[in-house]
Homo-oligomer: A and B are copies of this chain.
């Protein structure tokens, strides 16, 4: 407890998602199509406005051809530091 500069998991995940999407050279529209979700929803997640559920996380990971746990691992790195 006490004070920490707390980047919420949701926001951190959004940053990770954007980085991975750019690296994969996807547009939000392409990623949304591959993951089977809405394009503007990808935007909301990347901006950290929406906290995705576990099923959405798995969909995104599959679309990006990466393990879900790898995405979470990257997210941890942004939340703790």
What residues of chain A have their CB less than 8 Å away from a CB belonging to chain B? 8-10, 13, 51-55, 57-58, 62, 67-70, 72-73, 75-76, 79, 81
This protein's copies in its complex: 2
State the main secondary structure of chain A at its contact with B: helix
B75 touches A68 (CB 8 A): yes
Cα-based distance from A44 to B65 in the complex (angstroms) = 30
What are 26 contact pairs spanning A and B, CB under 8 A?
A8-B55, A9-B54, A9-B55, A9-B57, A9-B68, A10-B53, A10-B54, A10-B55, A51-B53, A51-B54, A51-B55, A52-B54, A53-B54, A54-B54, A54-B57, A54-B75, A57-B72, A58-B79, A68-B72, A68-B75, A69-B70, A69-B72, A69-B73, A69-B75, A69-B76, A72-B72
